C-alpha cells in the first residue's frame, strides 16, 4: 500500500531531564488543516487498496468483457469488409441494368414498350437479375433498398397495386424528393384500389415529409382532390389554401382559385 508523509508533524525534541516539581511535557505543534490532509491521504490509500483488491478478484470477468467487446468490433469490421462490401459490389452490377431499363421505361411514349421495359426492370435482362431479385438477395444494402423503389414503381405502372405497395413500403430514403415520391406513390396505389381514405393518408404524409417546392405542392394538390372526393371540403380547402399561400409559382397553383371555390 502506498504511503504518504503526513505534513505538519514535528518530532518532539529530546529534553534534558530536570528534576522539577512543576514538570510539563512538551507537546508537538500539529496544524489542524495538515492533519485533515493526512487523513484524506489515508482515505485515498484505503480506496486504492480496495479497488486493487476488487480488480484482482474480478480480473477474469473484466478480461472477458474486454475480449467480448474486441470480438464484437472485429466481427463488425470483418462483416463489413468480407460480406457487406462484396455484396454491395455485386448488387451494383446487377442494379445498373435494372436502372437503365427503368429510365428507358420512364421515357417511353408507347404503352406496350413501356410495359415491356418495366417487366425487364422486375425480371432482369442481359444476364442480370431484376429489381425484385436484387431487393431479396441484397437486402440490407443500399442497392437492395433502391431496388425496392424501382420494383414498386414498376409494379405501379403495370397496375399491380398490391405488389407496388409491398415494395414501396420497404423502401426508405433521406433524399428530399425520392422519399416523398415513394410515399406519394403508395397513395397512388391506394387511390387506384379505390381506397380514398388510405390514399389521402399517404398524400398528406408525402406532402409534408420533406418540405420543398416540388413534392409538397404536388401532394397537397392530390390530397385536396382526394378530400373533395371524400366530401371533406374543409380539409380540401386547407390543402388548396396552403398551395395558394406558399407555392403560388408552382404548376399546382395555376387554377387553385377555382379549386378553393369548390371547397368553400
For 177-230, write each residue's pLDDT tens digit.
999 999 999 999 999 999 999 999 999 999 999 999 999 999 999 999 999 999
pTM over 0.75: no
Residue 251: partners with Cβ closer than 8 Å, 6 or more residues away: 217
Please give the span between the terminal C-alpha atoms of the chain, in angstroms, as a whole number.
87
Query: Which residue matches cell numbers 431499363?
Result: 101
Distance of alpha carbon 77 from alpha carbon 64, whole angstroms: 20
DSSP secondary structure of 208-249:
HHS--TTHHHHHHHHHHHHHHHTT-HHHHHHHHHHHHHH-TT
Answer whether residue 68 shows pLDDT above 70: no
Residue 82 DSSP one-character state: I
- What does the pLDDT read at residue 28? 46
Amino acid at each position: 500500500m502506498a504511503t504518504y508523509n503526513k505534513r505538519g508533524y514535528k518530532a518532539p525534541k529530546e529534553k534534558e531531564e530536570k528534576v522539577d516539581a512543576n514538570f510539563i511535557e512538551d507537546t508537538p505543534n500539529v496544524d489542524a488543516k495538515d492533519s485533515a490532509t493526512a487523513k484524506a491521504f489515508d482515505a485515498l490509500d484505503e480506496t486504492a487498496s480496495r479497488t486493487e483488491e476488487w480488480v484482482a478478484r474480478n480480473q477474469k470477468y473484466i478480461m472477458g468483457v474486454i475480449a467480448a467487446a474486441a470480438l464484437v468490433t472485429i466481427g463488425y469490421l470483418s462483416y463489413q469488409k468480407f460480406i457487406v462490401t462484396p455484396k454491395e459490389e455485386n448488387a451494383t452490377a446487377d442494379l445498373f441494368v435494372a436502372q437503365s431499363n427503368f429510365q428507358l421505361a420512364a421515357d417511353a411514349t408507347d404503352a406496350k414498350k413501356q410495359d415491356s421495359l418495366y417487366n425487364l426492370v422486375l425480371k432482369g435482362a442481359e444476364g442480370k437479375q431484376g429489381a425484385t431479385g436484387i431487393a431479396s438477395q441484397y437486402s440490407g444494402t443500399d442497392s437492395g433498398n433502391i431496388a425496392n423503389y424501382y420494383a414498386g414503381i414498376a409494379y405501379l405502372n403495370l397496375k399491380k397495386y398490391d405488389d407496388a405497395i409491398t415494395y414501396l413500403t420497404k423502401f426508405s430514403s433521406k433524399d428530399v424528393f425520392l422519399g416523398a415520391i415513394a410515399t406519394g406513390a403508395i397513395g397512388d396505389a391506394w387511390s387506384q384500389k379505390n381506397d380514398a381514405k388510405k390514399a389521402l393518408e399517404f398524400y398528406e404524409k408525402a406532402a409534408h415529409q420533406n418540405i420543398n417546392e416540388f413534392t409538397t405542392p404536388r401532394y397537397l394538390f392530390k390530397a385536396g382532390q382526394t378530400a373533395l372526393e371524400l366530401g371533406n371540403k374543409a380539409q380540401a380547402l386547407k390543402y388548396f389554401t396552403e398551395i395558394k399561400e406558399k407555392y403560388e409559382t408552382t404548376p399546382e397553383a395555376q387554377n387553385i382559385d377555382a379549386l378553393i371555390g369548390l371547397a368553400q
